[in-house]
Amino acid sequence: MHTSSPRILITGAAGQLGTELTAELQKLYGEANVIATDIRTPKNFQGIFENIDVTNTIRLAYLIDKYKITQIYHLVAILSAKGEQNPTLAWQINVEVTRQILEIAREKRLEKVYVPSSIAVFGDKTPKHNAPQYTILNPSTIYGVSKLTCEMLFEYYYQKYNLDVRSLRYPGIISYKAMPGGGTTDYAIDIFHKAVARKPYECFLKPDTYLPMIYMPDALQATLQVMHAEAHKLRVRTSYNIGAMTFSPRQIFEEIQKHLPEFQITYQPDFRQQIADSWVHSIDDSFAREDWGWQPTFDLPAMVADMLVHLQKREMAWA
Ligand code: AKB
């Protein structure tokens, strides 16, 4: 163990983002310095793993002491679609648990805390194109309301207690390693799984629903960049806008069809259409670019090509 290395605890380490972020942090800091936690035990996990229900903050505090943790990446959240089915649970997990984690971090004088926010903080009064960093925020989902509350808490804990909380407003994250759970942007992942299985896809959003999206390698890069930035360079203490690409179900379908010409899609919008309609189309991320050098690398064609290569490789290995 390097004595200068941060000692990191991740909540939600078995989730879509957690799975890949844990591996990146292990590469950076060594397996001995990264403590992965989740309510589910991931299969074939390499490294230190502890089972935890995050509502059990007493156990969380115990693990922080046990492993001499200096930084937390708190990734557990109930996303937009699932949150609408259980708003009470969404509030408890997204707000109450997060506030308790901030309290623990303050009491134990942790060096840094990372908690994601989301484009769900925007609402129908936010400008749809190039949504500014500082703008009208009128979220319509409990997920958006809870993430906006958390953003206010990050700023409050920073101003009042000098707790170094960092955050990004993620667009829909697209990835192939672990499945997302309960989001509105999940269609942009589901569609690939149907395409490589040579099955038609029934999309739960209308063909021209434009949403901001980001490919996992860029999301990981942004997360590490904001966490590594010098504190005095961070002008935003709520959560940074980050943009990467914008597309609609029709556009991603057409891009996939360039690789798999037989692929077919139908549209059957459900309650998630209303959520998507309340969000913005694109993001102004100039604060992130200026403060810590944010620069995405994947656009729609590059992301689709990479997703298909990886998922087809996996499909072949399973066949
Ligand atoms: C969701 O769709 O709820 C999430 C998000 C945009 O934060 N992927």
The two structure tokens encoding residue 161: 């207690």
Angle at the Cα of 165 from the Cα atoms of 162 and 168, rounded to 5 degrees: 150
Q: 97 CB under 6 A from ligand 1?
A: no
Q: 15 CB under 6 A from ligand 1?
A: no
Q: Choose the residue to mutate in 17, 86, 93, 118 for probing ligand 1, maximizing ligand atoms within 8 Å of C-beta.
A: 118
Report the nearest-CA residue for atom 4 of ligand 1: 183
Q: 79 CB under 6 A from ligand 1?
A: yes
Per-residue pLDDT at 316:
81
Q: Residues with catalytic annotation?
A: 143
Positive or negative CA dihedral for 125, 129, 131, 132? negative
Q: 141 CB under 6 A from ligand 1?
A: no
**Closest C-alpha among 167, 293, 291 to residue 223:** 167
CA of 258 to the centre of ligand 1 (A): 27
Q: Are 130 and 79 in contact (CB under 8 A)?
A: no
CA of 212 to the centre of ligand 1 (A): 10
**Bridge partners of residue 131, in order along the sequence:** 283
3-class DSSP state for residue 258? helix
CA of 119 to the centre of ligand 1 (A): 7
Q: Are 74 and 101 in contact (CB under 8 A)?
A: yes
The two structure tokens encoding residue 1: 């163990």
Taken in order of first residue, the domains within the chain and their CATH numbers are 8-171 (3.40.50.720), 173-212+244-318 (3.40.50.720)
Q: 172 CB under 6 A from ligand 1?
A: yes
Report the nearest-CA residue for atom 6 of ligand 1: 172
Give the strand pairing for 34-38 and 8-11.
parallel
Q: Which distant-in-sequence residues (6+ apart) come within 8 Å of 284 by Cβ? A: 130, 131, 132, 133, 241, 243
CA of 84 to the centre of ligand 1 (A): 12
Q: 184 CB under 6 A from ligand 1?
A: yes
Per-residue pLDDT at 181:
84
**Closest C-alpha among 233, 238, 186 to residue 81:** 186
Per-residue pLDDT at 170:
98
Gap between the Cα atoms of 275 and 271, Å rounded: 7
Per-residue pLDDT at 317:
82
Per-residue pLDDT at 3:
53
Phi-psi domain of 101 (left: phi exceeds 0; alpha: psi -120 through 50; beta: other): alpha
DSSP calls for 179-241: ---S-STTHHHHHHHHHHTT--EEESS-TT--EEEEEHHHHHHHHHHHHHS-GGG---SS-EE
pLDDT in 10s for each residue of the chain, 319 residues: 445 899 999 999 999 999 999 999 999 999 999 999 999 999 889 999 999 999 999 999 999 999 999 999 999 999 999 999 999 999 999 999 999 999 999 999 999 999 999 999 999 999 999 999 999 999 999 999 999 999 999 999 999 999 999 999 999 999 999 998 899 999 999 999 999 999 999 999 999 999 999 999 999 999 999 999 999 999 999 999 999 999 999 999 999 999 999 999 999 999 999 999 999 999 999 999 999 999 999 999 999 999 999 999 988 887 7
Q: 185 CB under 6 A from ligand 1?
A: yes
Q: 183 CB under 6 A from ligand 1?
A: yes
User: 284-316 burial string, b = 16+ CB within 10 Å, else e?
Assistant: bbebbbebbebebebebeebbebbbeebeeeee
CA of 260 to the centre of ligand 1 (A): 27
Report the nearest-CA residue for atom 7 of ligand 1: 118
Gap between the Cα atoms of 117 and 182, Å rounded: 15
Q: Choose the residue to mutate in 86, 147, 168, 173 for probing ligand 1, maximizing ligand atoms within 8 Å of C-beta.
A: 173
List the end-to-end C-alpha distance of the chain, in Å, as a whole number.
41
